[in-house]
């Protein structure tokens, strides 16, 4: 069983609510999927900007319906839902990936790179390993701003293969806590 992590929801809300009226931060212990929950809300009339963090997801997922594996306390699993009216939606996953990589490794010491279109990888002595996955879903409405849900699954600790999936992972994972002190040379994928 993983360790519960403390999420600074109040600090995040205080920092962002002045720029985003109606903004909320919610932390739940257990949910099917943060993206699925915010997508359900995206179809309703009221859709305020919301960050939804889960300590555990029963049905976390990535692109093409792939499963996101994590035990409680091993990962940051969160989604941001909001209305947007961009000139074009193309490239949103690239922008999100670059922003997350730069936020996690501003000095580029950890070797975090973006594997198009939605994964963050790190080159380790054992080869390329998956650090995070990004899932972006939209609800487009005629003559109104679109609604977007941006999900992030970030390995805080390196997950292990489970009994239910003994074959392991498609791509070997790595956790942020296991990347060491950042002496590794930065390598972009």
Rounded Cα–Cα distance for residues 30 and 15 (Å) = 25
CA–CA distance, 12 with 24 (Å, rounded to integer): 9
Q: How far apart are CA 85 and CA 160, in angstroms?
A: 40
Per-10-residue mean pLDDT of the chain, 189 residues long, equals 57 79 88 93 90 85 64 84 83 90 91 86 86 91 85 87 52 84 42
Query: What's the pLDDT at 1?
Result: 39
CA-CA distance, 70 to 55, in Å (whole number)?
10
Which pLDDT score, from 0 to 100, does residue 124 have? 80
Query: What's this model's pTM, rounded to 2 decimal places?
Result: 0.81
Q: What strand order describes the sheet that includes 75-84?
A: 24-28, 50-54, 75-84, 146-155, 127-139, 119-124, 112-115
Give me the helices (H) in 45-174, please: 92-104
Please tell me whether residue 73 adopts helix, strand or coil conformation.
coil
């Amino acid at each position: 069983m993983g360790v519960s992590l403390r999420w600074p929801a109040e600090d995040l809300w205080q920092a962002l609510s002045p720029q985003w009226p109606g903004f909320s931060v919610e932390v739940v212990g257990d949910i099917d999927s943060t993206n699925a929950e915010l997508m359900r809300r995206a179809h309703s009339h009221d859709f305020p900007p919301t960050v939804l963090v889960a300590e555990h997801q029963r049905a976390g997922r990535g692109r093409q319906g792939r499963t996101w594996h994590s035990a409680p306390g091993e990962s940051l699993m969160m989604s941001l839902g909001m209305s947007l009216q961009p000139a074009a939606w193309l490239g949103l996953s690239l922008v999100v990936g670059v922003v997350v990589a730069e936020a996690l490794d501003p000095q580029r010491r950890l070797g975090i790179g973006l594997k198009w279109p939605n994964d963050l990888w790190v080159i380790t002595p054992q080869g390329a390993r998956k650090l995070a996955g990004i899932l972006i879903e939209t609800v487009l409405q005629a003559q109104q701003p679109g609604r977007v849900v941006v999900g992030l699954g970030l390995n805080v600790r390196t997950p292990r293969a489970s009994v239910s999936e003994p074959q392991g992972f498609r791509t070997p994972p790595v956790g942020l806590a296991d990347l060491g002190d950042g002496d590794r040379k930065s390598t972009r994928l």
